[in-house]
Structure 1
Amino acid sequence: MSVGVLVFHPQLEHSTVDQALSRAICDMPQVEIRDVYKLYPNFQIDVQTEQEFLAAHDHIVFQFPMYWYSMPPLMRAWEDAVFTHGWAYGSTGHALQGKTYRAVVSVGARQEKYSETGEYHVTAQTLLKPLETLQYNTGMIWEEPFIVFGGSSLTPEQLLYKQEAYRELMLRYEN
C-alpha cells in the first residue's frame, strides 16, 4: 500500500517540527513525500500532475502547520485546483473514492489552549472539520489526525518521540 504525503509548509527549511516529521518517514519504501511549496512557489499548480499523484497512492497525508487556525494558503489553493468536479466529486468524479486520508498537523501552541475552555475556545479537531468534510463529496475515508502540539517548545526528546509515533503510524500502511 502506498502513501502519498503532501507537505504544505511555506518555509519547510526553517521548520523544526515538519522537517523532523518528514525526515522520520523519508526512507520508508511505501511513502512518497512532496514538498508542495517547493514545487509551486508561485501557486501555479500543475493539476494533472497532482491528480496523478493522488491517484497513484492508496493513502493520502496532508502534512502542514496550523496557520491562523487553518491550513496554509497554498494548501487551500491546491485543494481548489486539484479536487475538480468530474474527477474528485460529482456524478463522474470517483478518482479518490475509497482512499484513506488524514491530516498531520504541527501547532505552535500547547494542547490546553485548543479546548472549549482554553484560550482559543476551540479544539484543533474542530478546526480540521473542513478537511474531514471532504469525505462526503469525494468518497475518501477520513482517519484520525496526527497533531503535534507545542511545536515551538518541544524538547529534543519530545520531538524524537513524535517522530517515532509518526513513523509507527506510517508503518501501518506497509501491507
Structure 2
Amino acid sequence: MKNILIVSGHPEFHHSVANATILDEVATALPEAEIRRLDWLYPDGKFNIAAEQESLLKADVIVWQFPFSWYGLPGLMKKWLDEVFVHGFAHGSTAKLAGKKLILSFTTGASQALYTADGFFGHTIEAYLIPFETTARLCNLEMLAPVYTCGISYADRDAGKITRKKALAREHASRLVDLLKTIRE
C-alpha cells in the first residue's frame, strides 16, 4: 500500500466550501491518508520544517490540494514550498524526494471556458502548470495528470450555489479518490 500525503494550501480553510468538501470526502474514502491543513497547523505562518519534511519522506504519493490563486499556489502554500522544498532536501545532490508521485488537485473560481486559447485568459489550464512541471522535474518527482474543477467561485454564497459547489466538489473528490486508489494498488 502506498502512503498518501495530502497538503492543503487553502489560506482560510474555515471559509472554504469546495476545498473543505473535497478534503472531507477524501478523508472518508481514504482514512489512512495523511492530510495536513497548513492554515490549521500553522495559523501564525511559521512552519515546522522538520515535521513537514518528515511527512514528505514517509509519502509515496503527494497531493497538493489548493484553490488556484492568481494562476498558481495560494500565498500560504507558496511559502510552504519555499521553506520546505529547500536545496539538499527536495533537490540537489542530496535530494530525498526522488521517485515520489505528485498530484495537483485544485479548484478555480473562473469557468473552464475562460481557460482556453480563445477564452478571456488566453491560455489553457495546462499552460499555467508549466512551473509545477518544472518544480516536479527539479525534485525528481513524477507529476501525474492534475485533478481540477473550474467554476467554483468563492464569491457566490447563496444556498443554491453552495449546493452546486458542494456537488462539484464531491465529483472532484471522487475523481481524486479513484486516481489515488489506482496508484495505491
Q: TM-score, normalised by structure 1?
A: 0.92
Corresponding residue of 1:162: 172
Corresponding residue of 2:102: 101
* Structure-1 separation of matches of 2:101 and 2:182: 12
Superposition deviation, residue 157 in structure 1: 4.1
Number of equivalent positions: 174
* Structure-1 separation of matches of 2:87 and 2:11: 27
Structure 2 residue runs without a partner (length 5+): 154-160
Structure 1 residue runs without a partner (length 5+): none
Superposition deviation, residue 76 in structure 1: 1.0
Superposition deviation, residue 127 in structure 1: 1.4
Superposition deviation, residue 114 in structure 1: 0.7
1:19-38 to structure 2, matched below 5 A, reads 19-27=20-28, 28-38=30-40
Corresponding residue of 1:50: 52
Superposition deviation, residue 43 in structure 1: 1.8
* Structure-2 separation of matches of 1:77 and 1:132: 18
Superposition deviation, residue 15 in structure 1: 1.3
Identity across aligned pairs (percent)?
30
Q: TM-score, normalised by structure 2?
A: 0.87
Tell me the amino acid that sits aligned with residue 176 of structure 2.
Y
* Structure-1 separation of matches of 2:76 and 2:167: 31
User: How has the CA–CA distance of structure 1 residues 136 and 173 changed in structure 2, closer, same or farther, with 3 Å as cutoff?
Assistant: closer
Corresponding residue of 1:81: 83
Tell me the amino acid that sits aligned with residue 133 of structure 1.
T
* Structure-2 separation of matches of 1:109 and 1:138: 30
